[in-house]
Homo-oligomer: A and B are copies of this chain.
């Protein structure tokens, strides 16, 4: 049964909690499961994803790393040279150029992937473990990003909502519902199934490129951003989707839940144990899908193997 919500009306916290309970995968893959919905991806899924490679075209879904602070980038990445070709290495003309980089793993406009330890709800993380034990002041002791060390490989399906609506982008605050996602699937002639990677485009990055950056960071007090209605989460759950790659981060701000600022994160990450990414860009991908005439492709996303990490910058690609 699908809960329905009146359009324009906020979902209550009680309804939120009911969804939360209904999409829980806790214990489904054992009490110590570290992978969550990645368990849905079988060797057969990987093989079929590779089978989608025909033209050999590769498309990055990462925003170039941004070292300049701005309204949506309060904690800009850091990149410095540490040695240049002016230094004489005293080896017959050999020179090294070296550098150093630093970044918040969850910077709002830096493309990254979340570990399952990243979000807690009511003191618990995915699987029901106490959040203060899962992450202490020195890092994560479980559910860290290193668990995804062998990478995400699977079939990606793009749902391009601005294309479906015939607009350039969704405006801040717009929340796409399950009904619209299903209509978009039909219009595009694709279906996202078990073990698939849901690539969700709102046009967030295109808006940024055309209008400039705006304040949409945490805490969500600025202009807001387009995302998902919470009624889409049961849909992902029923379909057994394995991963979620959005531009923006999936959250509609202001949110669709009364009194809950960020409802999508705890539903996906804490309840479902779903692999989710954050702040991708699909401008090149959307164009490639048009040109290739299809909305499905092989996806490869490779987090850094950061022990204790709650996330990682990454550069996932689509291969056509």
Taking Cβ atoms with an 8 Å cutoff, the residues of A that contact B are: 13, 42-47, 49-51, 53-60, 62-65, 67-69, 74-76, 78-87, 89, 91-106, 117-123, 125, 131-132, 134-140, 146, 149-151, 153, 218-219, 259-262, 265-266, 298, 300-317, 319
Q: Are A304 and B313 in contact (CB under 8 A)?
A: yes
Given contacts A43-B56, A97-B119, A101-B309, 10 further A-B contacts (CB under 8 A): A58-B151, A60-B150, A63-B305, A69-B69, A69-B75, A83-B138, A97-B120, A97-B310, A100-B102, A100-B104
Q: Are B92 and A62 in contact (CB under 8 A)?
A: no
Copies of this protein, total: 4
Q: Are B91 and A260 in contact (CB under 8 A)?
A: yes
Residue numbers in B under 8 Å from A120 (CB-CB) = 85, 93-97
Q: Are A260 and B92 in contact (CB under 8 A)?
A: yes
Residue numbers in B under 8 Å from A106 (CB-CB) = 96, 98-99
A313–B105 alpha-carbon span in the complex (Å): 14
- How close is A243's CB to chain B, nearest CB, in angstroms? 14
Q: Are B56 and A44 in contact (CB under 8 A)?
A: yes
A132–B81 alpha-carbon span in the complex (Å): 13
Residue numbers in B under 8 Å from A304 (CB-CB) = 62, 65, 101, 313-315
Most chain B beta carbons < 10 A, residue from A63, A84, A306: A84
